[in-house]
């Protein structure tokens, strides 16, 4: 990791490069350098805020040595507020120095699938989608459904959506894993509590230029989009199924009436999955040498339980239980996400 002085020197170097004819006339290089410059400039601003806050704390602490009790009490309150601000800035800097920072800034593709529990699992998949949609809106993100397969009773067997906005993947990557729900299903007449599960996968969006797919490796089929009960909802073959022949990976999209739009959405999903698969293979190679998996985020891991009778949500990774399931399902995920971010920072600091 570069120290602050090295980062300042690099910023000056980038500033000189951005005005050089060689870079100005090369749009691709200019875009890469501009991106690095913007990040370092942001980082330097945070360092300046850090210095200013530390100086203000030191000045306030001098007052504690005086005999003026009223001023000392004011200073104590000020120090408390300044130290909270200092911690917040330090956390922001720590996040920017995280090697995964660039990836965390990306848009992301969230895949929600009903697992064990049949119809009840599909209904909970719909609940989770609604929760994430609400959370995205609260965070100023946009979301777009890329693909969905409904169940007969109004839930989702599978729904895939794109979340777009600053730090989208950084916030939502914590959601990957198995989500367990405990409640009385609407189909249950005896009032018994059932346990169902839904799996969530979160993949960073990969731009076409970042991950090229050979067109010769693709088999593209078109078919008519189907609705509930198998009836055709479109008289033309607008639905698209793309098979990546080397891996056998299959993606289908039928939500749009346009074949072109469905194909574009299917390619977006396929690109993200193939890139993730490549990363997992590289990680597995490292893990094999260590004889353990490190930060793999396996989808089968049970990460959270939603208990309706107790109005409780428990995140098993950090041992956090909150008795406000109703507000969490309305997108109030900040307390959980903040706890997971803090856990990630502590783990990184200890590694």
The pLDDT tens digits of the residues spanning 237-277 come to: 788 888 999 888 899 888 777 888 888 888 889 888 888 88
| The domain over range 104-209+294-350 is classified in CATH as 3.40.50.920 | no
pLDDT at 180: 94
**CA distances (Å), origin 135, targets 50, 121, 202, 254:** 30, 21, 15, 26
Question: What is the pLDDT averaged over residues 283-301?
Answer: 47
Q: Where are the alpha helices (DSSP H) in 167-258?
A: 168-172
259: tokens are 């074949």
pLDDT at 293: 31
Q: What number of residues does the chain have?
A: 351
pLDDT at 157: 92
Between 350 and 171, the more confident residue is: 171
Specify whether the CB–CB gap between 156 and 148 falls below 8 A. yes
| pLDDT tens track for 116-148 | 888 899 999 999 999 999 999 999 999 999 989
Percentage, residues of the chain above pLDDT 70: 88
> What gap in Å lies between CA 336 and CA 342, rounded to an integer?
10
Confirm whether pTM is higher than 0.85: no
pLDDT at 333: 96
Q: Which fold, 215-290?
A: Double Stranded RNA Binding Domain (3.30.160)
Strand pairing of 177-183 and 194-204?
Answer: antiparallel
> What gap in Å lies between CA 151 and CA 159, rounded to an integer?
11
């Amino acid at each position: 990791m570069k120290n602050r002085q090295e980062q300042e020197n690099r910023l000056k170097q980038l500033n000189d490069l951005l005005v050089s004819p060689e870079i100005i006339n090369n749009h691709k290089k200019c875009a890469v350098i501009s991106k690095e410059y913007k990040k370092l400039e942001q980082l330097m601003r945070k360092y300046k805020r850090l210095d200013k806050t530390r100086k203000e704390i030191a000045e306030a602490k001098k007052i504690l040595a005086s005999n003026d009790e009223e001023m000392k009490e004011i200073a104590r309150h000020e120090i408390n507020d300044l130290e909270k601000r200092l911690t917040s800035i330090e956390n922001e800097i720590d996040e920017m120095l995280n090697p995964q920072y660039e990836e965390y800034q990306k848009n992301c593709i969230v895949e929600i699938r009903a697992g064990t529990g049949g119809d009840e699992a599909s209904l909970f998949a719909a609940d989770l989608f609604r929760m994430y949609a609400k959370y995205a809106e609260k965070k100023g993100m946009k979301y777009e459904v890329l693909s969905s397969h409904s169940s007969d009773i109004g839930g989702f067997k599978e729904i895939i959506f794109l979340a777009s906005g600053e730090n989208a993947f950084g916030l939502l990557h914590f959601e990957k894993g198995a989500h367990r729900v405990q409640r009385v299903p609407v189909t249950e007449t005896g009032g018994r509590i059932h346990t169902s599960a839904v799996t969530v996968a979160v993949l960073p969006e990969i731009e076409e230029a970042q991950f090229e797919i050979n067109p010769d490796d693709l088999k593209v089929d078109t078919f008519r989009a189907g609705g509930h009960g198998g009836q055709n909802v479109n008289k033309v073959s607008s639905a698209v199924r793309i098979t990546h022949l080397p891996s056998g990976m299959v993606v289908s999209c039928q939500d749009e009436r346009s074949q072109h739009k469905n194909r574009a959405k299917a390619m977006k999903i396929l690109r993200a999955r193939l890139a993730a698969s490549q990363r997992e293979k590289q990680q597995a190679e490292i893990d094999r040498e260590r004889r353990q998996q490190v930060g793999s985020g396996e989808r089968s891991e049970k990460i959270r339980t939603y208990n309706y009778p107790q109005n409780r949500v428990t995140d098993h990774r950090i041992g956090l239980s909150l008795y406000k399931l109703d507000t969490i399902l309305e997108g109030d995920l900040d307390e959980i996400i903040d706890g997971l971010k803090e856990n990630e920072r502590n783990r990184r600091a200890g590694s």
